[in-house]
Amino acid sequence: MINVDLKGQVALVTGGNRGIGRSVALALAKNGAAVCVTGRNHDLLGSTASELQAVSPESFSMECDVRDPSAQSRVFHEILRRFQRLDVCVPNAGGATLASATQTTLEQWRTDIDTNLTGVFITATEALKIMMKQKHGHIIGVVSKAGTTAFVARAAYCASKWGARGFLKCLALEAQKHNVKVTALCPASVATDFQKNNPAGTDWMMSPDCVAEAILYLLGLERNAYVDEWLISTWEKPEKDKAKLDQGKLPLGEIARA
């Protein structure tokens, strides 16, 4: 794992109670940052917070649904109350509807858009307001490869992720005037609990730690350099699975959230 000196820095990771978010939060804490993790699962949050505090005592957790602007506002208020600063923000919380466009209900559509796009909008804009005053900071949105290309049975998910990627690139134009970096990080399939029923298995996927290491690399770049968009791919799935997917014969469980 890459080592970066984050001592004295404060970080926020949404969806930080498991999977990619947990790996990212732990990596930041182990490198010296005080980390706030948010999520909706009380028990998982408590467990992750304990792990974080073992290496970074000032770290803490808060329950938060990223679709709720009031809940997000409370998180940022608490961060400022405790530390008066925010150096790193990783909007990571997300979810996926597994359905084709014609099979997607309006409720499913709204859930994906509200979580993966509006949630990122709220988190990133609140973070930028703080960082603009500081004249420094880095917002790294965990998007997905699904934000760069289309996939079978992921209509709402792809739409939300394409939107999040586009939003972050627009935000970067505003942020750079204030010495704040914004990166859209787009990993392909990641071996998390979300993938446990994937019929193709998870051996071919990247680990959550790989995404965390990518974030540490981004944070370690010199002041005048940043990556505005980073697509991290995996090797192709076995040809037999790819052929089934192309023919629409793989079950919806094959569809993966990066």
Q: Which residues are the active-site residues?
A: 157
Give me 212's structure tokens.
């965390």
> In sequence order, which ranges of the chain are alpha helices (DSSP H)?
19-30, 42-55, 69-83, 106-112, 119-134, 155-175, 208-220, 239-246
Q: What's the CA gap between 157 and 177, in Å, rounded?
A: 31
Give me 129's structure tokens.
């307001």
In Å, how far are 9, 103, 142, 157, 190 from 99, measured between CA atoms?
A: 41, 6, 22, 9, 20
Q: What's the CA gap between 71 and 75, in Å, rounded?
A: 7
**3-state SS, residue 26:** helix
Tokens 């509006």, residue located: 118
DSSP assignment, residue 190? Answer: B
Q: What's the CA gap between 16 and 35, in Å, rounded?
A: 10
**3-state SS, residue 100:** coil
How many Cα atoms within 13 Å fall on the side-chain side of residue 17?
Answer: 18
**3-state SS, residue 98:** coil
